[in-house]
Amino acid sequence: MSESAAENTLAEQIAAQLRRDILRGKLPPDTAIKERDNAAELGVSRTPMREAIRILAQEGLVVLRPSRSPIVARPTVKEVHDQVVVLLALEKLSAQIACERATEVDLSRLAELNEQIAEAYDHVDALDLFEMDMAFHRLIAEAAHNEALAETHHAYLARLWRARFLSATMRRNRERVVSHHGAIMNALRARDPEAVDAALDQHLSNLAEDISAAIEAENAEAERAGG
């Protein structure tokens, strides 16, 4: 929970703004992000806008093309699938390590959040719910107390945010999420590596296919409209 705080510099604020717009679909894939125009639109200079674009490019949300405007990324199904594979591996590794290293505080935070999710599930909009889900998975990664791992895991989670969001809104299922989270939690509590692995597999095994379907649908839509 360390990064959502500051947003010190203008560039970071711009990046955050653009990130939200991209992830929420206000800036759909293939949209050009011109340094000049977007900077003018926000009333800032090109310098921080440029830096913001680099940040998002680093995150994989926009793609830089030589001598061309950067555009909002349109990940292919394979790309997203590949990223999910890595995310899954990172989370499993985190959980394995967490079986040894997780503190009681880590575990109770996890429990608390899971309870919050269960409670909020029906009252809260999809976006906020998704933030909570993301936080849950981040807590797992952080419970391994391996900063590099947590950071990389978070980067993948962020990069896959939109895809996961699309997928989740398509098949929102309270029971699945809450009970799966509970299973993961209990396995961690028991510090049982194999149970953790199984629980994560159970929770995330269909993720790749779900996401792929969502992306495929969106891309097909775009093809019909723009092509």
- Indicate whether 45 belongs to the interface with DNA (CB under 7 A): yes
- Indicate whether 227 belongs to the interface with its own copies (CB under 8 A): no
Stretch that binds DNA, among 26-34, 97-105, 141-149, 195-203 (CB under 7 A): 26-34
CA 131, 135, 136, 138 dihedral sign is positive
- Indicate whether 41 belongs to the interface with DNA (CB under 7 A): no
> Amino acid identity, residue 151?
E
Rounded to whole angstroms, how far apart are CA atoms 224 and 226?
6
Residue 48 binding result from DNA, its own copies, none, given CB thresholds of 5 to 8 Å by partner type: DNA
Among 79, 118, 191, 222, contact with its own copies (rule: CB under 8 A) = 79
CA 125, 180, 87, 149 dihedral sign is positive
Residue 154 binding result from its own copies, DNA, none, given CB thresholds of 5 to 8 Å by partner type: none
Give me 216's structure tokens. Answer: 């495929």
Which 3-state string (H, E, C) describes 12-59?
HHHHHHHHHHHHCCCCCCCCECCHHHHHHHHCCCHHHHHHHHHHHHHH
- Indicate whether 27 belongs to the interface with DNA (CB under 7 A): no
Q: Residues 198, 187: contact at Cβ < 8 Å?
A: yes
Q: Tell me which residues touch DNA (CB under 7 A).
A: 8-11, 32-37, 44-48, 50-51, 64, 66-70
Q: Tell me which residues touch its own copies (CB under 8 A).
A: 8, 47, 51, 54, 58, 66, 79, 82-83, 85-86, 89-90, 93, 97, 146-149, 152, 156
